[in-house]
Amino acid sequence: MRKPIIAGNWKMNKSYSEAKVLLDEIKNLELNDDVEAVVCPPHINLALAKELLKGTNVKVGAQNSHDKDSGAYTGEVSPAFLEDLGVEYVILGHSERREYFGECDKFINSKVKAVLGHNLSPILCVGETLEEREADKAKDKVKTQIEADLEGVDAKEFDKVVIAYEPIWAIGTGKTASADDAEEMCAYIRELIKENFGEEAAEKVRIQYGGSVKPDNVSEIMSKENIDGALVGGASLEAESYQALVNFK
Ligand code: 13P
């Protein structure tokens, strides 16, 4: 059985003082223990999140990581630092990082392996643009990303790997993929994992959907067989709505 995982990607939102308020609220929420709840604040607030969420079941994730442990990489944060802090998840290959920061599959692949090497769980984001979907190229795009970004990952590691299918046209737009379309792509991703890494890996890997997930559509999305969770931006920035997402059942 795959445990459902609802992760809030705060993106570049919430200053230190604002994060303190939201994390204090999250700390006091009644959350369903059968669901893994994760918050991914900006790096500057990770230590604060670890501190304030101590004693709760809410896990902490980073929004990015470098692939090297240390060195002359101004402005970057290493997977070793994240491990040292007790962070458990790292979002990698988000479409915003691919688009605005020029991250390519090769670099993302290297980060995925580095993060796994530090006992952290990558949340690998993949997804197509609207143009690609309209040209019937969505699956080709996702296949390319999955195969390139996970190349060389050991099949045994897939109990730690999370994949987030985030169609770019659905991010922050209010347009959600229909639950059936999301399920179709998530089932395809599981099939790709089976082809490339074997049946056991495909059974273990958790696949999230992301893109305008809200309290009012989360249950339908989560009812699908191959969707094990959601990666949520906007709707995770407010405690009550975050609680409704985690308690989707
Ligand atoms: P929204 O939920 O704001 O559409 O963002 C989705 C996303 O990009 C999560 O990583």
Q: Is 225 a catalytic residue?
A: no
Average pLDDT over residues 85-102: 98
Token code pair at residue 105: 């599959």
> In the prediction, which pLDDT does 174 show?
83
Pocket test for ligand 1, best of 13, 39, 208, 231 (most atoms within 8 A of CB): 231
Average pLDDT over residues 30-42: 98
Average pLDDT over residues 94-98: 98
> In the prediction, which pLDDT does 116 show?
98
Ligand 1 pocket by Cβ (under 6 Å): 9, 94, 166, 171-172, 210-213, 231-235
Closest listed residue to residue 58, CA positions, set 36, 41, 83: 36
Contact 192, 158 (CB under 8 A): no
Q: Is 94 a catalytic residue?
A: yes
Q: pTM for this structure? A: 0.98
Token code pair at residue 191: 């099939």
Give the amino acid at 225: E
**Cα–Cα–Cα angle for 228, 44, 97, rounded to 5 degrees:** 55
Distance 210 CA to ligand 1 centre (A): 6
Token code pair at residue 124: 């690998």
Closest listed residue to residue 246, CA positions, set 206, 218, 205, 209: 218
Q: What is the pLDDT of residues 175-231, one digit of tens each?
A: 888 999 999 999 999 999 999 999 999 999 999 999 999 999 999 999 999 999 999
